[in-house]
Amino acid sequence: MDGDRRMFMKKKSIIVVAAIAIVGIIGFSLYNNSKKISGEYTAKIHLLLMESESTLSFEGNTVTEIADGEETNVGTYEISDDQLQIKLGDYNMTAELSKDKKSFVIKSAEGLASLANGTKYTKKEGK
């Protein structure tokens, strides 16, 4: 009987450890995904009398700028709370990310990218 009891306790310990590991993996995955966005975000850019569309495509830790169907810059991004930090080519931009991650607004940028300050990017449906 004593051997059966030890075997039961050993199996119970294995089940508890496995359950804790599964919960940990799911928790880490949810946390890690909260630090990512994906898909294409577009905005209308107005310069003088001209209007153009700007697209930023996010995948993994990478962001790609697309203009007229061509990739123009590739960079990286990080999310901290509701702040989206983008390093695209030689430019750094800071944006405020909406809670649902379906849009962001450029709050500050360097160089020519500063023309985008205040621009709202919205996620394309289905992308």
Q: Do residues 17 and 73 share a domain?
A: no
Handedness of CA 125, 36, 42, 69 (dihedral sign): negative
Q: Do residues 85 and 45 share a domain?
A: yes
Residue 52 is predicted with a pLDDT of 77
Q: Do residues 47 and 90 share a domain?
A: yes
Quote the number of domains for the chain: 2
Task: Classify residue 81 by its DSSP letter.
Answer: T
Q: Do residues 83 and 109 share a domain?
A: yes
Residue 116 CA to residue 11 CA, distance in Å, equals 60
Q: Do residues 28 and 48 share a domain?
A: no
Q: Do residues 61 and 13 share a domain?
A: no
- Amino acid code (one letter) for 99: K
Residue 113 is predicted with a pLDDT of 65
Q: Are 117 and 110 in contact, with CB atoms under 8 Å apart?
A: no
This prediction has a pTM of 0.67
Residue 32 is predicted with a pLDDT of 47
Domain range for 104 is 39-123
Query: Which residues, given as ranges, of the chain have pLDDT below 50?
Result: 29-30, 32-33
